[in-house]
Structure 1
Amino acid sequence: MRDWQSVFKDNREYRALIVKEVLEDLDMQPVIVNKKVSAYGFGNFEIFVAPDQVIRAIKIIKEEIKFE
């Protein structure tokens, strides 16, 4: 996971889980990383993908996933 890149971050875990599931359904292997400091509630949940999947993942997130 050394060269993997972050394609999504949010402070709400459920949103990160939705993004992860959508990308998995499209044959990607996303990883969710909890970067929250639990004692203070600051930070985000981030989704990382392999370098060759970054452009595709960002496009999917922007065009197909809406949080409204």
Structure 2
Amino acid sequence: MEKDWIKVRTYTKPLEAEIVKQMLEENDIAVVLLNKQDSSYLFGKIELYVNEKDEAITNVLIDSSTFTEEEDAN
């Protein structure tokens, strides 16, 4: 991954991560999900990355949504 991408959230539920990704893409924000979950037992995290220039608007959009399971990346 290029150096100007940053992790903004971490999820444990794949569906929730995909919903957030779709919402951001609908707002013209490029998103990468890095799925670090074990494929057999589904433990682990799913990390959401955006370009540094989109970090502020990404946080505003996610914070204004109704999702509650995400964890801050910091």
TM-score where L is the length of structure 2? 0.78
Q: Which ranges in structure 1 are unaligned for 5 or more consecutive residues?
A: none
Q: CA deviation at 1:9?
A: 1.2
- In structure 1, the partner of 2:26 is 25
Root mean square deviation of aligned Cα: 1.6
Report percent identity of matched pairs: 31
Alpha carbons 1:8, 1:16 under 8 Å: kept: no
Q: Which ranges in structure 2 are unaligned for 5 or more consecutive residues?
A: 69-74
More strand by share: 2
Q: CA deviation at 1:13?
A: 0.3
Work out the CA distance in 2 between the residues paired with 1:18 and 1:47. 11
Off by >6 Å, runs of 4+ in structure 1: none
More helix by share: 1
Say which SS state the counterpart of residue 57 (structure 1) adopts: helix
**Deviations, residues 11-61 of structure 1 (Å, cap 9, x unaligned):** 100010001000000001111110123355332111100000001101100
- In structure 2, the partner of 1:66 is 66
The one-letter code matched in structure 2 to 1:3 is D
Equivalent pairs, count: 67
Work out the CA distance in 1 between the residues paired with 2:57 and 2:67. 19
TM-score where L is the length of structure 1? 0.84
